[in-house]
Structure 1
Amino acid sequence: MQKPLAYRMRPTSIETIVGQQHLVGPGKIIYRMVQAKMLSSMILYGPPGIGKTSIASAIAGSTKYAFRALNAAVNTKKELQIVAEEAKMSGTVILLLDEIHRLDKTKQDFLLPHLESGRIILIGATTENPYINISPAIRSRTQIFELEPLAAADIKTALKRALTDKENGLGHYSVTLTPQALAHYASATNGDLRSALNGLELAVLSTAPDPKTKTITIDLPIAEETLQKKAFSHDADGDAHYDVISAFQKSIRGSDTDAALHYMARLVEAGELVSLMRRLLVIAYEDIGMANLPACARTVNAVLAAEKLGLPEARIPLADAVIELCLSPKSNSGISAIDAALTDVQTGHSGEIPKNLKDAHYKGAEALGRGVDYQYPHNFKGDFVVQQYLPNNLKKKQYYEPKTNGKYEQAFKIQYEKLKKLLK
């Protein structure tokens, strides 16, 4: 049985990886490891289908080390022992361990000494947050890299490559992929390249060629059917997806409940549950934020409920959240504050941390004056004491500009201004 297109098109070198350029692009961390042949064990985490296995495969192909793939939930300790024996014989083995968050203690204890010795280079793959779901013992011996959903342009590049690749792809078929269909595969899969490739392969293998030209034409209706997702419109550039997301956020920001529900309905009808939930979380904290923090928390709960329910029932808690966010007071003071602070840091306006705030938990810190004059607020009345926290060159800086659009931020404003006055 032939392996799926997504499997066959996995990259064999670091240069052929699609996306994840913040890690594998020239000069970036994983690229440097491969170039220097100084690999360390790592954990790659992010949504499904965005390249975790591809990166592991490409690292192995670029370094010429033996490559083995196991699943932490399914494969046994004995199978890990086989990999370890191979590593002893050949020198180094790259082990891709999928679902590493499900690694039990017995397998973990077996692996640890092999990671220490460097005989096994572990590349763990997970969709779960490793800082929460992976044991400290494994985390301490690995570098953790977060992967990002692929951009539509990255997916288009990979699909075009698959259509022309005669060895592993679909290059031995005569295929015409319309711009509308290409845009739909690229945008409707939410950055999941595996889904896009497998949808394309199904379309090619299940569509009869034209009797005269012998060409298989994949148009938008076929793309919709093979992905089981409807397109927003026949937009050749694939902008409609982003237009709907933009209109959705701007309608909530503008407090138009009916418009927001309309654009939500478009997303639901197109099966864009992941995009809808992610955008709703962004909106809650970006546009409502300090004005109604309980609404933000309730939005998180609505998203969690939607994830458990799936469509079509997921529309119910999400609709409740959309209505509440529309009718809630608005404030962007949180995002404005952190962006102002980031601007200072990114432009070199950081300054020296006051000595009394520096770490004092090591021998010799006191001799350096670190932490010596720190005053512990809980030792004072009201759990507050006046002391300087910002660096000297920024001690008068104010990043947070509170608003008064909701009762919560009104109260925060009074407290913030009171404390700011005392600290000054």
Structure 2
Amino acid sequence: MKPLAFRMRPQVIDEVIGQQHLVGPGKIIRRMVTAKMLSSMILYGPPGTGKTSIANAIAGSTKYALRTLNAATDSKKELEAVAAEAKMSGTVILLLDEIHRLTKPKQDFLLPHLENGRIILIGATTENPYIAINPAIRSRTQIFEVKPLSESDIKTAIQRALRDPERGLGKLKIKLDPAAEQLLTQATHGDLRSVLNALELAAKSTPPDKENQEIHLTLAVIEECIQHKALVQDKDGDAHYDVISAFQKSIRGSDTDAALHYLARLLAAGDLVSVFRRLLTIAYEDIGLANPTAAAHTVAAITAAEKIGLPEARIPLAAAVIELCLSPKSNAAITAIDAALKDIKQGTYGEIPAHLKDAHYQGAQKLGHGIDYKYPHDFNHDWIAQQYLPDKLQNKSYFQPKGNSRFEENLKERYQRLKTAQKQQLPPHA
């Protein structure tokens, strides 16, 4: 009676779907498993993307015992039982779900067992571990991001579940229409658990035909079981991504009616997640410094939409789309940061000037750190000319403002005035 998603969890590392940046040949978790040199880790990412599956596969591949607890609901007593088992029988892998909710008493009990290696902790969380998890735990673990599964990953998992006669649905004679399979791969945003649960519900609630005893899973059947309407029915299966792409490009191109059309398609499919992500990206990537208030309005519209849900969510989202379409545009921010990142990736960054280095520790002065730093607030206009960029980047100008609105024109003038003052060692208001 266990659900399909549970039964299809990988038993060894080779069965893990997706996450090749962690479990692929030569990657970090596969190296740990191959060498049997496991270290405690935190896996973070969206629901249904394989955090528990990876823990299960690690245990199956290494033959270590796997115990599963929840940091929010299981008590210290359960942790003590795992520790006692590890002391008696050797290394135990502890999958600790919702690790961001681990209390300090439980943490204090757990830390010594992580130190001596008796317990290999695999913490699972949907929260950002750098914000939500205590530094004491973070410092004793490696942190790995688990990413949403790709469309091809989902298809692989579906076909595996349909073929497997022991753990999957292989004993049933199932015909899954291509359009229905496409909806499964697209509508759940990489959440494999939702995909497999919907597939099992569809298979077990659809009567077989009398002639061939075949269970025919059509698009309509899958739509009903997944409670998600198809965006467009096309044989290529690219419609979902085409609509999202057309949505952003229409806003970027200031075509209000086209943008509203594609918003309507996404809302009809119930795909609020894609709408939210695109609008936030557009607000900063395509409008940016030409109209910073548009970004604030977009965040407010998304917050309202999340709180009220569909169908009312369409109202604030439409307002945001119209404002973004009619707003002046500028991509100066994204081009500036991309130019800076390009230098970093190419190894062009140089030594931080000594006067900017941290001077808040004993011995910093002996190293010459922070000695000649000039505190801008001690000077007229709260500004003083001094070097900030490394020597090899002294003349770099990443920011290329376009001046497509009065606000951005003011930024452009001030940026150029400050750059000139910095080069000439003169006050910017001189």
TM, length-normalised to structure 2: 0.93
- Residue 84 of structure 2 aligns to a residue whose secondary structure is helix
Shift in Å, 1:170: 1.2
- Deviations, residues 235-254 of structure 1 (Å, cap 9, x unaligned): 23320000110111011111
SS at 1:148 equivalent? coil
- Aligned partner of 1:294 in structure 2 is 293
Task: Kindly provide the amino acid, as one letter, of the partner of residue 406 in structure 2.
Answer: K
Q: Deviations over 1:289-331 (max 9, x none)?
A: 1112222122223223322333223223222222221122111
User: Is residue 41 of structure 1 aligned with residue 40 of structure 2?
Assistant: yes
Amino acid across the alignment from 1:225: E
SS at match of 2:216: strand
**Bigger mean CA offset, 212-221 vs 368-377:** 368-377
Q: Which residue identity is paired with 2:151? A: A
1:345-360 correspondence to structure 2 within 5 Å: 345-360=344-359
CA distance in structure 2 between the aligned counterparts of 1:14 and 1:357, rounded to whole angstroms: 47
Give the SS at the match of 2:143: strand
Q: Which residue of 2 aligns with 1:69?
A: 68
Does residue 215 in structure 1 map to residue 214 in structure 2?
yes
* SS of 1:125 mapped into structure 2: strand
C-alpha separation between the residues in 2 aligned to 1:27 and 1:378?
52
Q: Which residue of 2 aligns with 1:197?
A: 196
Aligned position for 1:132: 131
| Post-superposition CA distance 1:103-151 (Å, at most 9, x none) | 2223222222222222222222112222332223322322222222111
Asked whether the equivalents of residues 183 and 236 of structure 1 are also in contact (C-alpha less than 8 Å), the reply is no
Q: Aligned pair count?
A: 423
% identical equivalent positions: 69
State the secondary structure of the residue aligned to 2:67. strand
CA contact (8 A) 1:179 1:237 kept: no
Work out the CA distance in 2 between the residues paired with 1:408 and 1:59: 54
Partner of 2:391: 392
Aligned equivalent of 1:327: 326
Paired residue secondary structure (1:334):
helix
Cα distance change on mapping 1:413 and 1:141 into 2, 3 Å: same
What is the Cα deviation at residue 362 of structure 1? 4.7
1:118 and 1:304 map into 2 onto residues whose CA distance is 44
In the alignment, the residues of structure 1 paired with residue 400 and residue 63 of structure 2 have an alpha-carbon distance, to the nearest angstrom, of 55
Q: 1:227: which partner in 2? A: 226
Q: Quick one: structure 1 residues 89 and 224, their matched pair in 2 at CA, closer, same or farther if it must change by over 3 Å? A: same
Maintained 8 Å contact 1:152/1:187: yes
Q: Which residue of 1 aligns with 2:235?
A: 236
Q: Distance in 2 between matches of 1:386 and 1:147?
A: 45
Q: Which residue of structure 2 aligns with residue 276 of structure 1?
A: 275
Does 2:143 match 1:147? no
1:96 & 1:248 partners in 2: Cα distance?
Answer: 41
Aligned partners of 1:210, 1:264: CA distance in 2, in Å? Answer: 39
Which letter maps to 1:228? Q
C-alpha displacement at 1:365, in angstroms?
Answer: 4.2
* Alignment-derived partner of residue 175 in structure 1: 174
Q: Which range moved further: 180-189 or 295-304?
A: 295-304
Whole-angstrom CA distance in 1 between matches of 2:84 and 2:330: 59
Amino acid at match of 2:262: Y
Partner of 2:260 in structure 1? 261
Q: Is the 8 A contact 1:404 1:410 kept in 2?
A: yes
| Distance (Å, rounded) in 1 between the aligned partners of 2:15 and 2:62 | 14
Q: Secondary structure of 1:337's partner? A: helix
Distance in 2 between residues matched to 1:381 and 1:124, nearest whole Å: 52
Q: Cα RMSD over matched residues? A: 1.9
Q: Distance in 1 between matches of 2:63 and 2:373?
A: 54
Unaligned runs of 5+ in 2: 424-430
- Per the TM alignment, residue 67 of structure 1 is displaced from its structure 2 partner at its CA by 0.6
In 2, Cα distance between equivalents of 1:107 and 1:312: 43
The whole-number CA distance in structure 1 between the counterparts of 2:37 and 2:384 is 49
Which deviates further from its counterpart, 136-145 or 357-366?
357-366
Question: What amino acid is aligned across from residue 326 of structure 2 in structure 1?
Answer: L
Q: Normalising by structure 1, what TM-score?
A: 0.94
Aligned partners of 2:31 and 2:300: how far apart in 1? 41
Aligned partner of residue 171 in structure 1, secondary structure: coil
| Closer, same or farther: CA 269–417 of 1 in aligned 2, 3 Å | same
**Helix, strand or coil: the match of 1:410?**
helix
Aligned partners of 1:307, 1:117: CA distance in 2, in Å?
A: 45
Deviation of 1:364 after TM superposition, in Å, equals 4.6
Which amino acid letter does the alignment assign opposite residue 64 of structure 1?
K
Return the alpha-carbon distance in structure 2 between the equivalents of residues 53 and 171 of structure 1.
23
The farther-off stretch of 279-288 and 99-108 is 99-108
Report the alpha carbon displacement of residue 342 of structure 1 after superposing the two structures with TM.
Answer: 1.5
